[in-house]
Amino acid sequence: MHWLFTGHLRVDKITVKIAQLPASLQGTTLVQLSDFHYDGLRLSEDMLEEAIAVTNEAEPDLILLTGDYVTDDPMPIHQLVLRLKHLQSRCGIYAVLGNHDIYYSHSKAEVTQALTSIGVHVLWNEIAYPLGKELPLVGLADYWSREFYPAPIMNQLDSVIPRIVLSHNPDTAKILQQWRVDLQLSGHTHGGHIVIPGIGPLVLYYKKLLKQIPKKLRRWVTFFLGDCSKVVRYWEWAQGFHKVEENQLYVNRGLGTYKPGRLFCPPEVTVITLISH
């Protein structure tokens, strides 16, 4: 499916304002990669190579990976890390896992071990300090896991300290409103897959469209397109930058192509520059 409605890789560059950002971190460059779905079908080797190349060209201070490295079977992670080991950043590579990375009981351990073997720091309800104590990095367990419980982690941080949060599923932004989140990085949605230019992801209107289709045909539509309504609740956050009350959220469209494919929704590498508010 990597050739079906995938489109060319796009590098999206954004600037994010962080209140109380230390002067020493002004202009810090982050690169976010997400949703590889590396399984021999959903991501081409050429696009993966290009994504790694443009990431390194950005000369990032930190590379952040936001989950779904594989689809179901975790075995392809061992081939994927042979490619990802070529990523380069000044302060390392940090990652969280997605729902597909914990699909089987052994998946989490296998994916984590493989990423760790190439020096990627996998965070599962953990806080790290790759940029120093003045800008913590929080990595949460996947929202659909039994271990998503952010309170003990978030409550460790003083509210005067800015922080970046990695959470695969953007729906968690609703829950995280009770804490300070200067920048949440998520994926999971693949940008909504099919986007109507000037209007937004088709999935926003999916349920209304289904009601217009005869019941006998609906099951065929859901078979080919999937039941997108179950992927996330807040499809309005399917891609790009959003303000969620006082917090800030960015959702990467991902690299892999999942059914029903992509249309006007190109795979993405995100280059983020941090500046003071």
Domain of 253, CATH number, reads 3.60.21.10
Flag whether pLDDT at 150 surpasses 90. Answer: yes
Average pLDDT score over residue span 11-39:
97
Query: Does a structural domain hold residue 182?
Result: yes
**Number of folded domains in the chain?**
1
CA-based nearest residue to 3, from 44, 38, 35: 44
The tokens describing 152, both together, are 């003990």
| Among the listed residues 257, 256, 254, the one whose alpha carbon sits nearest the alpha carbon of residue 268 | 254
Place of tokens 């940090």: 94
Residue 4 covered by a domain? no
Query: Across the chain, how many H-helices and E-strands are there?
Result: 7, 14
Structural domain contains residue 158:
yes
Which run of H or E residues covers position 274?
strand 268-276
Residues 166, 121 contacting (CB under 8 angstroms): no
Kindly give, in sequence order, each residue whose CB lies less than 8 Å from that of residue 100, ignoring residues fewer than 6 positions away.
Answer: 37, 67, 68, 69, 70, 71, 72
Residue 96 lies in a domain: yes
**pLDDT recorded at residue 183:** 98
Arithmetic mean of pLDDT over the chain = 92
16 within 8 A of 271, measured Cβ to Cβ? no
Q: How far apart are CA 212 and CA 147, in angstroms?
A: 39
- pLDDT confidence bin for 210, thresholds 50/70/90: low
Q: How far apart are CA 188 and CA 232, in angstroms?
A: 8
Domain ranges, residue 112? 10-276
Residue 75, domain member (yes or no): yes
173: β partners: none
pLDDT at 24 over 90: yes
What integer pLDDT is reported at residue 205 of this predicted model? 77
Whether 257 and 42 have beta carbons less than 8 Å apart is answered as yes
SS3 111: helix
In a domain, 1, yes or no: no
Does any domain span residue 5? no
- 199 within some domain: yes
Question: Distance (Å, rounded) from C-alpha 59 to C-alpha 29?
Answer: 8
- Judging by DSSP bridges, how do beta strands 247-251 and 183-186 pair with one another? parallel
Cis amide prior to 260 (ω within 30 degrees): yes
pLDDT digits (tens, 9 = 90+) for 219-277: 666 555 555 667 888 888 999 999 999 999 999 999 998 877 898 999 999 999 999 98
